[in-house]
Structure 1
Amino acid sequence: MAGPGWTLLLLLLLLPLGSLAGYGLQKKQVNLSHKVIAEPCRSHQECQSNCCTTNSLDPHTLCTPKTIFLQCLPWKKPNGYRCSDNSECQSSCCVRNNKSPQEFCTSQTVFLQCVPWRKPNGNFCSSHQECSSQCCIQLREDSPFRCVPRTGILAQCLPL
């Protein structure tokens, strides 16, 4: 036989929580709207991973996973995409790859260096660093400086 206390407790457990607001109990707000990876978001708090970052060239933000170091990393451009700074690229290399001033994301060397584009042989130049051969010389006294291949046994920068 249940006493009046047990009956009241059983009744309270069966009633929805919202109907008890008049008795001094308030409904606790539970956020069940946490979004999963790849869902659109506006802030970190919306995501289960607590990471809401840009994940493509599209300017919208998406829920993304955290790294093993529990960091939220923004999306970075793969090789071949236009860039203006090394930080925009997955490879951390944003360099020119032809005569145009536009820069592109390119891969790093085996030694983790970014190799800038250099002018091919025959192009006009003003310094050795501009040429792929690292050799910019005047072929004649009155001619302009041009990129030329290195020559000789020791691959020196000599006129042809």
Structure 2
Amino acid sequence: MASAGHLLLLSSLLSVSLAWRTKSFFLFHKRMGEACSDHAECRSRCCVTSSLDPQTFCTRKTIFLKCLPGRRCPQQYACSDHAECRSRCCVTNSLDPQTFCTPRTIFLQCVPWRKPNGAYCTHHKECRSQCCIKLKEAGHYRCTRPSGLLAQCLPLVSPSPWDGGASGTEGPGCA
């Protein structure tokens, strides 16, 4: 009778192990951003709803290893306010006035996209260099790099009519 009990025990253990094996084959196979229905499906073991869609997706755990539902938009999603973004940074990322969730800098600054040197501008804040000046008297305002010893946003010095075309600051009667 003892051998029959052992056989029954072994057969039940075998069926349980086979059932676990087929289930564990499907555990932890989904990557970040893939749809899921349970934490066990995700490699990160974190399956939550996002703020954009009621469906659940695999996502990363927080730095404290918490699995929190997404309350804010990930990078590159359209936004209208800093509070909508995970990075808390909602700014323009091109000439288009539409704002997007953007990562902060290494110094945790939220910096909008700015025009490169040479682009037309109307104000210093539009330029990466923070310098918008006319390069020629008859020309348009353009983004340019700061100049001079202290790297200030100064207009280029035009030739002086008093010293035969050489640039300088001395006027008539100055020594």
Report the TM range for the smaller structure's normalisation. Answer: 0.5 to 0.7
Moved over 4 A (4+): none
Q: Distance in 1 between matches of 2:97 and 2:69?
A: 29
Counterpart pick for 2:104 among 97, 105, 108: 108
Residue 94 of structure 1 deviates from its aligned partner by 0.6
Residue 77 of structure 2: which of 78, 81, 84 is its match?
Answer: 81
Name stretches of at least 5 consecutive residues in structure 2 with no aligned partner. Answer: 1-36, 39-47, 57-63, 157-175
**Matched pairs, number:** 109
Q: TM-score w.r.t. structure 1 length? A: 0.54
Aligned with residue 113 of structure 2, among 111, 117, 141: 117
Instruction: Check if 1:57 corresponds to 2:17.
Output: no
Percent of aligned positions with the same letter in both sequences?
Answer: 54
Gaps of 5+ in 1: 1-37, 40-52, 63-67
Q: Deviations over 1:102-143 (max 9, x none)?
A: 111111224432111111111111111111001000112222
Alignment of 1:1-160 (within 5 A): 55-58=50-53, 60=54, 75-160=71-156
Residue by residue over 1:20-42, the C-alpha shift from the partner in whole angstroms, topping out at 9 and shown as x without a partner, is xxxxxxxxxxxxxxxxxx67xxx
Give the partner amino acid of 2:71: W
Q: CA deviation at 1:92?
A: 0.3
State the one-letter code of the partner of 1:99: L
The CA distance in 1 between the partners of 2:127 and 2:107, in whole Å, is 21
Residues in 2 aligned to 1:109 and 1:76: alpha-carbon distance in whole angstroms: 19
Q: Deviations 1:35-56 (Å, cap 9, x if unpaired)? A: xxx67xxxxxxxxxxxxx9524
What TM-score do the two structures reach when normalised by structure 2? 0.50
